[in-house]
Amino acid sequence: MIFPITNWAVPIYEYLKGINKIVLLFICAELTKIVGFLPPISSTIIYGIIIIYAIHCLLHTKNYESIYLGLLLYIPLQILITSPNVMFSPWQRYILFAIIIITCSGMCQSEILRSERGRIFEIICFSCAIIGVGSFFARFLGINYMQVNGITDLSRAGIFGGLASHSMLLGPTAGVGSLYIVNKALENKSVFLFACSILCLASVLFASSRSAFLSTIAAGFVYLHFKTANLGTFFKYFVAIFILLACSIPLWQGAMNGLIEKQNGNVVAGSTFASREDKWDQRFEEFKSNPICGYGFVSVDPTNKDNSIGAGGQSVEPGSSWLSVLSMTGIIGLIFIGSIYVEALLAVAKNSRNPFLFGVITLLTVNMFTEGYIFFGGSFLSFLFWITIGVCRDQKYLPIENLTNAPNDNY
What is the DSSP code string of 46-71? HHHHHHHHHHHHHHT-SEE-HHHHHH
106 has a pLDDT exceeding 90: yes
Distance of alpha carbon 129 from alpha carbon 379, whole angstroms: 19
Q: Is the pLDDT of residue 188 over 70?
A: yes
Helices (H), 38-146: 43-59, 66-82, 90-104, 111-141
Give pLDDT, residue 272. 57
**CA 294/CA 296 separation, integer angstroms:** 6
Cβ-Cβ contacts under 8 Å for 217 (sequence gap 6 or more)? none
Which pLDDT value is given to residue 208?
86
Mean pLDDT lowest among 22-26, 199-203, 295-299, 404-408: 404-408
Reported as a pLDDT band with limits 50, 70 and 90, residue 70 is: very high
Residue 158: pLDDT band with limits 50, 70, 90: low
Q: Are 178 and 204 in contact (CB under 8 A)?
A: yes
Give Cα 106 to chain centroid, integer Å: 16
The total number of residues shown for the chain amounts to 411
Residue 315 is predicted with a pLDDT of: 78
Q: What is the pLDDT at residue 247?
A: 78
Is the confidence at residue 265, as pLDDT, over 70? Answer: no
Q: Given pLDDT bands bounded at 50, 70 and 90, which one contains residue 71?
A: very high
User: Mean pLDDT, to the nearest integer, of 277-284?
Assistant: 89
Q: How many CA atoms lie within 13 A of 303 on its CB side?
A: 2
Q: Considering only CA atoms, which of 144, 142, 132 is closest in space to residue 195? A: 132
Domain membership flag for residue 3: no
DSSP 374: T
Residue 255 has pLDDT above 90, yes or no: no
In the chain, the number of structural domains is 1
**Per-residue model confidence (pLDDT) at position 3:** 38
Q: Is residue 143 part of a domain?
A: yes
Q: What gap in Å lies between CA 131 and CA 112, rounded to an integer?
A: 29
| 171 pLDDT tier (thresholds 50, 70, 90) | very high
Average pLDDT over residues 205-233: 87
Query: Is residue 6 one of the residues assigned to a domain?
Result: no
Please give the pLDDT value at position 23.
96
What are the phi and psi torsion angles at 303 (to 5°)? -90, -10
**Cβ-contact 248, 272 below 8 angstroms:** no
Domain residues for 334?
Answer: 12-409
Determine if residue 147 is left, alpha or beta; phi over 0 gives left, psi from -120 to 50 gives alpha, anything else beta. Answer: beta
Looking at per-residue confidence, does 272 or 395 come out higher?
395
CA nearest to 370, candidates 227, 212, 217? 212
Name the percent of the chain lying above pLDDT 70. 82
Residue 281 pLDDT > 60, yes or no?
yes
Q: Name the burial class of residue 241, with classes exposed (0-12), middle (13-18) and buried (19+) by CB atoms within 10 angstroms of its CB.
A: middle
More confident residue, 94 or 411: 94
> Over 90: is that where the pLDDT of 409 sits?
no
Task: Please count the helices (runs of H) and the strands (runs of E) in the chain.
Answer: 17, 2
What is the reported pLDDT for 2? 35
Minimum mean pLDDT range among 304-308, 328-332, 339-343: 304-308
pLDDT of residue 395: 92
Residue 54 has pLDDT above 90, yes or no: yes
pLDDT score, position 236 = 79
DSSP code at position 108: E
Task: Phi first, then psi: give them for residue 316, nearest 5 degrees.
Answer: -130, 125
Q: Does residue 5 sit within a domain?
A: no
Look at 228 and 76; give whichever has higher pLDDT: 76
The maximal CA–CA distance of the chain, rounded, in angstroms, is 58
Distance CA 3, CA 15 (A): 12
Is residue 387 situated within a structural domain? yes
> In Å, how far are 44, 160, 180, 236, 411 from 353, measured between CA atoms?
40, 36, 16, 21, 12
Residues facing residue 164 across a β-bridge:
35
pTM: 0.89
**pLDDT at residue 402 in the model:** 44
* pLDDT reading at 266 higher than 70: no
Domain annotation covers residue 259: yes
Give the model's pLDDT for residue 264. Answer: 66
Q: Is residue 189 part of a domain?
A: yes
Q: Count of CB atoms within 10 A of residue 110's CB?
A: 15
* Distances in whole angstroms, Cα of residue 101 to Cα of each of 56, 111, 115, 199: 13, 17, 17, 33
Domain membership flag for residue 2 = no
Position 406 confidence tier, pLDDT thresholds 50, 70, 90 = very low
d(CA 340, CA 345): 9
